[in-house]
Structure 1
Amino acid sequence: MFDDVMKTKSDFYDKCPCATKILEFVDSIDDSDVRWFFHIGYCHFDENRYAIIFKSYDMPEYEDYVLSVEATYNDDDYILRIVKKVDNLLTSNE
């Protein structure tokens, strides 16, 4: 279970010490034809882990597009990974 929920982008910046790093990571994804926007985030303080969900454009043809990123603190840095990506492309979707 999670310890806290980040419902706004402001919450995300306030509660997640690696928010900027996560956003830069998301912006660097080059195998997608969509733009990702913060949707919701979950803090797991006891595990030093954050799970962030991004959605794409607020239009019917993009309603099922989702990107889930996890950040885990390890060895003085955050390790980022894509947990799930659904963007209607045939390559690299997990």
Structure 2
Amino acid sequence: MQADAWIMDGNYSDSLFNERLNACNTVFFLDYSVDTCLSGVRQRWGKKRPDMPWIEEQEDKEFMNYIRLFSKIQKPNIVRILKDHPNITVYNGI
């Protein structure tokens, strides 16, 4: 975040979310449906990913539940926090 230009993906709202928002000028909020997100996770099972040191072989019930509840629990917090940063340009997608 110290560089002149940078990109981060993911919400990671538990890790330095406000610090990242204070350092940025633009947010792309991709609001995919629950079904799209669950389908994407299932399609990645059994495949090696460069961002993970393990291969998901089966459903992680806790993670799938997190996705199912995201729009009810996480999304309202993200929307509220984004409203607290009026200097940031927010693009809503999907």
Q: Using structure 2 for the length normalisation, give the TM-score.
A: 0.22
Structure with more of its chain in strand, by fraction: 1
TM-score after normalising by structure 1: 0.22
Larger RCO (CA within 8 A; separation ≥ 6): 2
Please say which structure displays the higher CA radius of gyration. Answer: 2
Higher helix share: 2
